[in-house]
Amino acid sequence: MHRWLSVAFLLTATAASVGGLVMGKLPASFQAMGQSYTLSDCSPEARASESSIAAGFRESYREDSRNGNKRAALVVDVGTISTVRFVEDSALNETVQIEGGQCSRVNMDVLNMQNIHLLKDENGSVAFPVRQMLSLPQPNERPVKGTCRGQPCITWTVRQPPVTKKGDDGSVIVSRDTYYLVWTDFTEENSWSSMSQERNVPLELRLCREENTTRPDDDVTETTTQLNVIEILHFTHDAVFGDDLEYPDGVYCENFASKEWKLNTSPLTYISYSAEVAMDESGFRYVADSRVHMDTLERLYRIDYTPETAYFNNVTVPRGVKSVSRIISGISGLVFDIQRTNKGNTRCQRRELKRLPFMKEAIIDFQDMSKLSPELFFGTDRTMYVLKKTTRKRGIPCNVWQGRRNDWPPGANITTVWEWCVRDEKEKPTSGMWDSPRLPIVSLEIYHWQAADDVHDDQVPDENWRKMTFSFYRVDSANKWVTDLQAFDVTECMDEDIDPMQFELKYPEAKYEDVLNITIEPLFLGMCKYHIVQSLKSKVGALRVGKLRAVFDEEKKLHIQFTLLGKFPDIKGEPTLEELQELLEKDVDAGVLKISMTAPGKQENIEFTAVPHSLRSADEDF
């Protein structure tokens, strides 16, 4: 880092004492481009041709009119040697320096070691030179008119009070800084206020620094001078290069001093989403779709995927299979792969969790399903995420939370940078841009950062990908009843070991029309399944109830039809199918199985109660 920091001296030395002046009113945006150089002679005629090194620079500034946040950027380019970018964000109160894939905070101690006078002003922001020039108060001395680069110009002089400091050897150093601020002069009135109008633009900023050093036990004073010049060759208020003002995606900023992501897990117990997953690898991009449901309390997980997943993993989908629904029980270690063929058939394959290979698009390691939680999904149980920036993804304003992990993919021994983009709660949602404001996850970008230094090549799996992007749609912190009803039905995996059942639910006859509206809601059937599962007293009860539906007979009696699934031989201590029937019959006959719901658009609750002695086998296998 020290090599490229020294380049910044060409520009940042100029900003040293200007930062101490009182700030004025800045324009809403500007961009300046030109060159910077340093000379040992403070002659007014000094030019870049007399300097051995000249650095190109580009400085940008923009204030967000909606929220008042300010961004500033300074890019320094010394030929092919190095390019350094400083980015300041008032919303984060943070300034970082970026070179290539390296990003770190501006560190005062490190900069002082390099004798670089990159100072911070009172509010902790880096003093960028052109920005400071534009915000200076009116100088005390009369300006001097002249011609600069073939156009009329005016030069203002600012003399700073002398500053005295002591050196490490006890010497006394007195510094005197003089600034020369050069503007175009296309006004009849040579007033300082006219310089801030868009008719006139800054041309040059010169800092002449004179240092008088008196060493201990020495009556002789040594005098040195240095001239730092910034020539502004192009200036505009409008066409600001926005990329300069952004923290680059995928670049990890070490020790980023920003607020930590404190994940609120209360609405995240049940999560469902659809995602378009893209993987960039050696000039190719592979894309697949996935649909995920999670019940973190019951440790149930489901992912629906297609044959395109083979591009992401060593996992292949059998020929002729259109899609696969993988249902995992973290409590029991059961895995069900429900395959749907191109011919419209369905088949099921039972697997062991401990032999299940990792899938990148699942995000979670399947071997961690016994610990399934919102923290596991987002990685906050093992990674600290901090706010990196506010940006837009797919046109949606969101906050980027960045963290670094070395455990993903499991066993790969690589480092990855994770960037979750979560909708900014301060922004007003635009209709139709996202589906669920309750869980506003916009995207996740995972960058293959670097391999671990202590890992040999023969130990690293084939991880040639550079970036994975998850674009989330239909994200919802769904309730337990709907999630379990729609996502975790494994009836198709049980062959003949099932028993179609039904029981009657009693309701107020006068509310028949409202009841009709209630029974078509997925939430109603989800609540029915939940109460049935509660009666079964099974560790995997949600997997042992499937295919629910509500039907009315000719007498308008309401029946809940469902299937009870047999015992899974891999789980010890589970009740048999007959024992499940007995447990459920006990609660139905006791009248303790009750459901209460309101009809859509109504406020009054309608109570449904299981009719005693109504539990029986269904007339047909539905």
Least confident of 85-94, 143-152, 404-413: 85-94
Given a cut of 50, whether residue 120 has pLDDT beyond it is no
Which is more confidently placed, 387 or 4?
A: 387
Residues 595-619 have a mean pLDDT of 92
Please give the sequence-ordered ranges of beta strands (E in DSSP) within 6-150, or none if there are none.
29-39, 54-63, 70-78, 82-89, 94-99, 102-105, 144-148
Residues 177 and 282 reside in one and the same domain: no
* Domain boundary pick from 420, 447, 476: 476
Give the type of residue at 307. Answer: P
Residues 308 and 402 reside in one and the same domain: yes
Which residue is associated with the tokens 């002695």?
A: 613
Query: Is 484 inside any structural domain?
Result: no
Which is more confidently placed, 186 or 46?
A: 186
- What is the span of the domain harbouring residue 52? 2-248
Which is more confidently placed, 457 or 601?
A: 601
Residues 160 and 187 reside in one and the same domain: yes
Residues 501 and 542 reside in one and the same domain: yes
Q: Which two tokens stand for residue 137?
A: 């108060």
Is residue 571 within 8 Å of residue 332, measured between CB atoms?
yes
Given a cut of 60, whether residue 15 has pLDDT beyond it is no
Query: Is 485 inside any structural domain?
Result: no
Q: What's the pLDDT at 453?
A: 45
Q: Which two tokens stand for residue 281?
A: 């690898």
Residue partners of 619: CB distance under 8 A and separation at least 6: none
Residues 327 and 405 reside in one and the same domain: yes
Query: Is 253 inside any structural domain?
Result: no
Long-range own/partner contacts, residues 591-600 (CB < 8 A, 24 or more apart): 593/503, 593/531, 593/532, 593/535, 594/531, 595/505, 595/524, 595/527, 595/528, 595/531, 597/518, 597/521, 597/523, 597/524, 597/527, 598/518, 599/511, 599/514, 599/515, 599/517, 599/518, 600/517, 600/518, 600/521
Given a cut of 80, whether residue 491 has pLDDT beyond it is yes
Residues 458 and 496 reside in one and the same domain: no
Residues 450 and 514 reside in one and the same domain: no
Q: Tell me: the pLDDT tens digits for 157-214?
A: 988 889 898 888 888 999 898 888 999 887 766 666 555 555 688 999 888 889 899 9
**Residue 430 gets which letter from DSSP?**
P
* Domain boundary pick from 420, 446, 476: 476
Given a cut of 70, whether residue 515 has pLDDT beyond it is yes
Using DSSP's 3-state secondary structure scheme, residue 65 falls into coil
> What percent of the chain has pLDDT above 70?
82
- Cβ-count burial of 138 within 10 angstroms (0-12 exposed, 13-18 middle, 19+ buried)? exposed
Q: What's the pLDDT at 117?
A: 34
| Residue 20 phi, psi (nearest 5) | -85, -10
* Domain boundary pick from 476, 501, 536: 476
Residues 104-108 have a mean pLDDT of 63
Given a cut of 90, whether residue 70 has pLDDT beyond it is no
Where do runs of H (alpha helix) occur along 559-605?
577-590
One DSSP character per residue, 279-319 reads: EEETTEEEEEEEEEEEETTTTEEEEEE-GGGGGTSS--PPT
Residues 504-533 have a mean pLDDT of 94
Q: What's the pLDDT at 53?
A: 66
For the chain, give the mean pLDDT.
81
Q: What's the pLDDT at 24?
A: 46
Q: Tell me: the pLDDT tens digits for 315-350?
A: 778 889 999 999 999 999 999 999 999 998 999 998
Q: Count CA atoms closer than 13 A to 194's CA, side-chain side.
A: 13
Query: Is 119 inside any structural domain?
Result: yes
Q: Tell me: the pLDDT tens digits for 219-239?
A: 788 998 888 888 899 998 877
Which of the four pLDDT bands, split at 50, 70 and 90, describes residue 620?
Answer: low
Query: Is 200 inside any structural domain?
Result: yes
Residues 379 and 427 reside in one and the same domain: yes
Residues 353-375 have a mean pLDDT of 93
Q: What's the pLDDT at 322?
A: 93
First to last CA, the chain: 69
Given a cut of 70, whether residue 459 has pLDDT beyond it is no
Least confident of 24-38, 374-388, 445-459, 561-575: 445-459
Report how far residue 434's alpha carbon sits from residue 216's, in angstroms, rounded to the nearest whole number. Answer: 70
Residues 252-277 have a mean pLDDT of 83
Using DSSP's 3-state secondary structure scheme, residue 370 falls into helix
Residues 524-531 have a mean pLDDT of 93
Query: Is 542 inside any structural domain?
Result: yes
Does the N-terminal peptide bond of residue 248 adopt cis geometry, omega within 30 degrees of 0? Answer: no
Q: What's the pLDDT at 123?
A: 42
Q: Count CA atoms closer than 13 A to 292's CA, side-chain side.
A: 25
Residues 401-420 have a mean pLDDT of 93
Report how far residue 453's alpha carbon sits from residue 600's, in angstroms, rounded to the nearest whole number. Answer: 60
Q: Tell me: the pLDDT tens digits for 384-393?
A: 999 888 888 9
Given a cut of 50, whether residue 2 has pLDDT beyond it is no
Is residue 577 within 8 Å of residue 558, measured between CB atoms?
no
Q: What's the pLDDT at 551?
A: 95
Pairing mode, strands 253-254 and 102-105:
parallel
Per the structure, the count of domains in the chain is: 3
Which of the four pLDDT bands, split at 50, 70 and 90, describes residue 281?
Answer: confident
Residues 470 and 559 reside in one and the same domain: no
Residues 374 and 228 reside in one and the same domain: no
Residues 392-421 have a mean pLDDT of 92
Q: What's the pLDDT at 100?
A: 74
**Residue 260 gets which letter from DSSP?**
B
Residues 92 and 69 reside in one and the same domain: yes
Given a cut of 70, whether residue 367 has pLDDT beyond it is yes
Which is more confidently placed, 271 or 609?
A: 609
Q: What's the pLDDT at 402?
A: 93
Residues 443 and 470 reside in one and the same domain: yes
Q: What's the pLDDT at 43?
A: 76
Query: Is 258 inside any structural domain?
Result: no
Query: Is 256 inside any structural domain?
Result: no
